[in-house]
């Protein structure tokens, strides 16, 4: 199969080279199905994660932490960006070759728009191509949101996360609009590289996904590293100067200004459906622009599925991968898997140390009517966790929310070295009904971070009576 044809007929058409879509495409291609995968950007083979998301940002976390005091910030940053770009290029090529080298799969770089429920017209470097398919997957992901603040979108100093990690000049003064996990990761990264970083968040606190006690520790770690965090900040205007921008914001009824070499708009991501002409295909979207799907990820057209960020679900690569399992179960299996099967899905913010969470917070558990007991300890006081001392980072806290009557683990927040790995153990325990006492008394390898559970879960610091 090739793009020299003016028209193609396929069993499966996948629009967007994300994790879920490429997994289904590869599986169906290996089974002999004729597959066409369309990706609009040659820089996005493999999707957000290996190109502009998880891989490059976490690689930058790694490189930023390796910088020594004697390393010149700009030189270290520029070299780091180069090494990270080489890594993403390697992953991108592997993703492309892994599919395009299959005789049954054609990868086409171009912009697709629907002309009817089974047909797309693709504008590519080889001209116009028409593809007709029996089954269609939408996997176009999401794109950064730049709020409609006066002067922000027009400013020459405003960048998205995709643009910032592609820059080889380290910002002297970096303003970050938004205090979500992703924003705080960037604050940590660029602060370590040597930028002066200010985070402006409209909400009363950052780290809003965790309880106040855990959030305070996480915020304190970043503040101690030199990050300025301003909460309750309502940005009202951005004004460009000759070499920097002025960010105007209101806090506590007073107006403030901040000078910045770059302004990172990090206020979330929206489903990327523009230009697809989904209405022409009879595919409904939600008010937020996501493709409307049921629990099997089927759209308003029964032969259409939507996977990953574009369907409005949680914006994580591992969710997109699970989406592929649901769709493959529809196409090849018994059709029983659904999004309702997902229980105890973990999440991690890759600050240093990382903050990983699963399940309910204490506030959520109480609001849901649970009687709870809380096990919580600062990492520095967990005697069963010498690993933290070995790697010279004892910052953080671990907190478990436990049902006081059943000993069921309702949720956990782990702010510590290797928390991104430990949270998967907690999530697995929650999914299989393993009680807190079992996790507390388990035998763990040594010296590891996971053995901290022996100590933390033995310390019930608060319990409802």
Question: Whole-angstrom Cα distance, residue 279 to residue 460?
Answer: 55
Question: Whole-angstrom Cα distance, residue 313 to residue 337?
Answer: 16
Catalytic residue among 118, 303, 347, 446: 446
Tokens of 200: 């402006």
Distance of CA 162 to the CA centre of its chain: 13
446 is catalytic: yes
Residues identified as active-site? 446
């Amino acid at each position: 199969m090739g793009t020299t044809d003016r028209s193609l007929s396929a069993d499966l058409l996948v629009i967007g080279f994300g994790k879920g879509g490429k997994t289904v495409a590869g599986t169906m291609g290996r089974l002999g199905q004729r597959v066409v995968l369309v990706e609009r950007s040659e820089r996005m083979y493999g999707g957000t994660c290996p190109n502009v998301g998880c891989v490059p940002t976490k690689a930058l976390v790694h490189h930023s932490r390796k910088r020594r005091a004697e390393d010149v910030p700009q030189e270290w940053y520029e070299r780091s960006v180069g090494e990270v770009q080489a890594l993403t290029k390697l992953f991108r090529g592997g993703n492309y070759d892994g599919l395009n080298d299959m005789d049954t799969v054609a990868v086409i770089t171009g912009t697709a728009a629907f002309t009817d429920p089974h047909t797309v017209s693709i504008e590519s470097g080889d001209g116009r191509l028409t593809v007709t398919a029996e089954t269609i997957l939408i996997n176009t992901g999401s794109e950064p949101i730049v709020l409609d603040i006066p002067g922000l979108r027009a400013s020459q100093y405003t960048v998205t996360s995709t643009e910032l990690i592609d820059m080889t000049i380290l910002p002297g003064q970096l303003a970050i609009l938004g205090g979500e996990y992703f924003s705080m990761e960037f604050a940590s990264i660029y602060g370590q590289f040597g930028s002066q970083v200010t985070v402006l968040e409209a909400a009363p606190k950052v780290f809003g996904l965790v309880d106040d006690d855990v959030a305070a520790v996480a915020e304190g770690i970043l503040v101690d590293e030199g990050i300025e965090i301003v909460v309750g900040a309502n940005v009202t205007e951005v004004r460009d100067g000759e070499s920097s921008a002025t960010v105007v914001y209101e806090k506590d009824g007073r107006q403030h200004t901040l000078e910045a070499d770059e302004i990172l708009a990090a206020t979330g991501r929206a489903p990327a459906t523009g230009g697809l002409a989904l209405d022409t295909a009879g595919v409904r979207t939600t008010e937020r622009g996501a493709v409307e799907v049921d629990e099997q990820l089927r759209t308003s057209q029964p032969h259409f599925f939507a996977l990953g960020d574009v369907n409005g679900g949680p914006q994580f690569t591992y969710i997109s991968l699970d989406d592929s399992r649901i769709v493959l179960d529809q196409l090849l299996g018994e059709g029983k898997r659904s999004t309702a099967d997902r229980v105890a899905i973990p999440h991690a913010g890759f600050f240093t140390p990382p903050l990983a969470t699963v399940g309910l917070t204490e506030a959520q558990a109480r609001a849901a009517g649970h009687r709870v007991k809380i096990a919580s300890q600062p990492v520095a006081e967990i005697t069963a966790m010498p690993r933290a001392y070995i790697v010279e980072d004892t910052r953080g806290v671990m907190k478990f929310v436990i049902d006081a009557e059943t000993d069921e683990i309702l949720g956990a927040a782990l702010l510590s070295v290797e928390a991104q790995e430990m949270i998967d153990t907690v999530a697995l325990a929650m999914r299989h009904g393993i009680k807190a006492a079992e996790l507390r008394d388990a035998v763990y390898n040594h010296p590891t971070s996971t053995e901290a559970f022996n100590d933390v879960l033995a310390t019930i610091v608060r319990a409802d009576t």
